[in-house]
Amino acid sequence: QVQLVESGGGLAQAGDSLRLSCAVSGLLTRYSMAWFRQAPGKEREFVAAIKWPGGTRYGDSVKGRFIISTNELKNMLYLQMNSLKIDDTAVLYCAARNRGPTVGVPATPTEYDYWGQGTQVTVSS
Q: Which residues contact 69 (CB under 8 A, 6 or more apart)?
A: 50, 77, 78, 80
Over 15-66, what HEC string results?
Answer: CCCEEEEEEECCCHHHEEEEEEEECCCCCCEEEEEEECCCEEEECCCCCCCE
**What backbone torsions phi and psi does residue 88 show, to the nearest 5 degrees?**
-80, -5
Residue 7 and residue 58: Cα distance in Å, rounded?
A: 20
Indicate if the pLDDT at residue 43 is higher than 80: yes
The arithmetic mean of pLDDT across residues 42-66, rounded, is: 93
Q: What is the pLDDT of residues 79-110, one digit of tens each?
A: 999 999 999 999 999 999 998 766 678 999 99
Across 30-50, average pLDDT: 96
pLDDT at 103: 67
Q: What pLDDT was estimated at residue 53?
A: 75
